[in-house]
Structure 1
């Protein structure tokens, strides 16, 4: 990650404070890390800020990791989820909406590698969406007068979405600048 850019945002969710804090410590310097010790707090964090990767324990009192996954899916969470749990996997996980599954205990390098991988995957998906949104926005910007663009709600939403996607892609990927420069070089307006 470049020194001028913010780090990916990770959320560690585990009811065992020592475990959650240990995983957060392992991610220091790689991510901007928050910890929550129960499902309700975790969902509130996700509602309040854009989280890129969640490390989620499956077995917790009250709201389980499985319950949290269902809520995240209902919220249309756009980040990645890594289950980090002592529950041995079974066929039930095949249809669960998570992106990686690590069995405890997990060493420092495996946690960092899994988070890095998920940030990279999310970064490229985000960049793809950005290119789609921004290509449309740029052709409109090149072809229609500013007064029409400024009063068009859908255009303004696309412009805001484009900014959000670019910021997230830059946060997640080191090589974003080169990819954005190549995109910028493509002429989209009529000759």
Structure 2
């Protein structure tokens, strides 16, 4: 996103009325591009896209494949899966930032876009932390405890999150008062 320009949001949804509804809800606050299938999404995506909202299941290539295309291309796009597909352990390896079940209100949609825009300013380690905590919370909300304990994907996500938390704790513990002062001082400067 360049200064002075509206953030660019790519809406990918095969149900035209729903896609147009999402676009209408976002139009005015954002520059919105709409794709009604995965092929059009790939054509419309470039590094100027700040946020992509993807449906998972569409005829032809899926939203999962569009997600992979976005992650393989240059750019720092925040991706929200906006779908009717309940999350399952298969989400563990998907590189989305948020996962929201349809339908979504205007407030939910704009909140999702704003959250994704804020995250694009974070470093990759923090974005990875957000992704992992989001996936864990989704699985905990939609799966039974027995399913969670049997899921290798869920256990792997928890181990990855614990590693990130441990590394962050160790880094913070190594900071001395001068480091903390320098960090606080640099954040307060314009």
CA apart distance, 1:45: 1.1
Higher RCO, 1 vs 2 (CA within 8 Å, ≥6 residues apart): 1
Which shows bigger deviation, 66-75 or 51-60?
A: 66-75
CA apart distance, 1:41: 1.1
2:116 is the counterpart of 1:86 = no
What residue number does 2:9 align with?
10
CA apart distance, 1:75: 1.9
Q: Which runs of 5+ in 2 are unaligned?
A: 125-185
User: TM-score, length-normalised on structure 2?
Assistant: 0.61
- After superposition, the CA RMSD in angstroms is 2.3
Alpha carbons 2:48, 2:75 under 8 Å: kept? no
| Structure label with greater radius of gyration | 1
How do 1:79-118 and structure 2 match up within 5 A? Answer: 79-118=77-116
Residue by residue, what CA displacement relative to the aligned partner does 1:118-150 show, whole Å, maximum 9, x if unpaired? 111213559xxxxxxxxxxxxxxxxxxxxxxxx
User: TM-score, length-normalised on structure 1?
Assistant: 0.61
What residue number does 1:20 align with?
19
Q: Which runs of 5+ in 1 are unaligned?
A: 127-178, 184-191
What residue number does 2:175 align with?
none
Residue by residue, what CA displacement relative to the aligned partner does 1:36-77 show, whole Å, maximum 9, x if unpaired? 111111111113x51000010001000101111122222244
Alpha carbons 2:79, 2:98 under 8 Å: kept? yes
